[in-house]
Amino acid sequence: MEGRITIELRTDNTPDSGSGLPDLGHDAFWLMKAIRDLVYTDKSGNETAMGEKYPIVRATTEVS
């Protein structure tokens, strides 16, 4: 069975012109890279980098 974890971040500071989309893309890319190094601690206290526990496969942005 395949599972997925979704994290949604929102901002009200994106210009109507869409010019903020590249900034959001940069933030999404940075977050995707940073999550890989985040240390996960399981119930037994064992620590593993999130990038080793889960494949980080996608970061997307959208403006509405």
Domain ranges for the chain: 21-53
pLDDT above 90 covers what percent of the chain?
38
Rounding to the nearest 10 degrees, give the CA dihedral for residues 31, 32, 33, 35.
Answer: 80
Task: Report pTM.
Answer: 0.69
What confidence score (pLDDT) does residue 47 get?
97
What confidence score (pLDDT) does residue 17 get?
62
| CB contact set of 49 (below 8 Å; sequence gap of 6+) | 36, 37, 38, 39, 40
For residue range 19-31, list pLDDT tens digits in order.
Answer: 656 778 888 889 9
Q: What angle do CA 24, 28, 32 make, to 5 degrees?
A: 170
For residue range 29-45, list pLDDT tens digits in order.
Answer: 899 999 999 999 999 99
Give the mean model confidence (pLDDT) for residues 36-60: 92
Maximum separation of any 2 CA atoms in the chain, in Å: 49
